[in-house]
Amino acid sequence: MPMIDADGCLLNVSVEGRDGGPTLMLSNSLGTNLKMWEPQMKALTQLFRVIRYDRRGHGKSGVPPGPYSMERFGRDVLAILDDLNIEKVHWCGLSMGGMVGQWLGANAPERMGKIILSNTTCYFPDPTNWLNRIKAVKEGGMAGLADTVIAAWLTADFREREPQITQNLKAMLLATRPAGYIACCEALSTLDQRALLPKIKSPTLVIAGRHDMSTPVAAAEFIRSHIPGASMTILDAAHISSIEQQHAFTEAVVGFLTQR
């Protein structure tokens, strides 16, 4: 896995899959690393060259001092593409990855093929939730909010049915370095990308989770209705729909990216 320099921050990047195929870039949620996408990799690497990466502050990437911003995250992606000499990619981002996708779609349209925005929003009207999370991590580390976050990520039914998958996801969250998590929460506390949506001209699919309280269906519908020509799929999942409904999620992604 190469480490790619984005303005002095080393980013952990993985490139796998079909040589010469179209390129798909995957972008994780807050508090996870690139292994979040393991359930999709077998199917996706048969069709695409797949780029995964750890966002700054996460996984094996660097943790420069915050605060960060969506523009910074977007420019990190462009630095990865430039380093790999890749002109254009399809994009699939979940939660925070979807927010970065909105920024890229509006600000770097020539680099984007089709865009998938999953379990995400363009706007948080009230920063309180993020400020509370920052306080919780400063006082109790990642363990201070792990159970609350996991309860939002996966439905109670799924957590009961799949304890090992739930445990693996929780371990990923607990391994996230507090300074990186806090800097990302600071970026989310001021998120307002509503004005970017009409500028996105790429074919766009919005995926929502029926039981997602973090970025509810209404937030997904707002995005869909403000991006010209965007479509929407609703899955029977909470926030991390790529894990809770891995087959349906993968089918939605592959179907959208391969349709002419």
Residue pLDDT, tens place only, 47-74: 999 999 999 999 999 999 988 999 999 9
DSSP state of 143: G
What residue type is assigned to position 242 of the chain? S
Q: Which residues, at least 6 apart from 201, have a Cβ–Cβ distance to it below 8 Å?
A: 105, 109, 228
Classify the phi-psi angles of 205: left when phi > 0, otherwise alpha if psi is within -120 to 50, otherwise beta.
Answer: beta
pLDDT, tens only, 170-200: 999 999 999 999 999 999 999 999 999 999 9
CA distance 31 to 170: 9
pLDDT greater than 90 at residue 7: yes
Instruction: Determine if the peptide bond prior to 67 is cis (ω within 30°).
Output: yes
pLDDT greater than 90 at residue 131: yes
pLDDT, tens only, 74-113: 999 999 999 999 999 999 999 999 999 999 999 999 999 9
CA proximity to 93, closest of 76, 84, 110: 76
pLDDT band of residue 249 (cuts 50, 70, 90) is very high
Q: Which residue has the tokens 């600000």?
A: 107
CA proximity to 164, closest of 240, 100, 222, 243: 243
Q: Tell me what the mean pLDDT of segment 147-166 comes to.
A: 98
The structure's pTM equals 0.97
How much is the pLDDT for 19?
86
